Amino acid sequence: MALFGPYKAMVRRVVDGDTFMLDIDLGFDHMISAADWAGNPRLACRVFGINAPEKSTKAGKVALEFAAKTLPIGSPCQVLSHGWDKYGGRFNGTITCPDGRDFAAVMLSTGHAVALTEYKMKAARAHRLKKG
């Protein structure tokens, strides 16, 4: 799989515990904005390798709050693109915090997210249990 970056970026919005809107400096005086002129989202970064609870749940609200404290709006960071995610409209990215920590590792170590492979296993197990 081809990787792109790392690129300098700035947090414009924390969507949930594993999705950010970032303004990205592509280099050579080229920038990509997280939103269009009307303020509508145009590009989101899905944090590579983790899954945080849905923001409609209590755990999801806690994860969102933690993510927003860890990488608040306006924070500089770096992002390494792993390409488009399967849903489109966003890319999978490794985000490095200003202090050099890997954002996904922080979310995992604090229990605010699970590793994506672990999430897939839990989902498959739940699906099997529903089938009986």
Provide the 10 A C-beta neighbour count for residue 44: 18
In tens, the pLDDT along 54-66 reads 999 999 999 999 9
Are 20 and 88 in contact, with CB atoms under 8 Å apart?
no
Contacts of 70 (CB under 8 A, 6+ apart): 97, 103, 106, 107
Task: Spell out the domain ranges in the chain.
Answer: 4-131
| CA–CA gap between residue 7 and residue 24 (Å, rounded) | 7
What is 4-131's CATH number?
2.40.50.90
Q: Can you state the percent helix, strand and coil of the chain, rounding each to 5?
A: 25, 40, 35
- The structure's pTM equals 0.86
In tens, the pLDDT along 17-31 reads 999 999 999 999 899
Confidence band for 42, pLDDT divided at 50, 70 and 90: confident
| CA–CA gap between residue 20 and residue 35 (Å, rounded) | 12
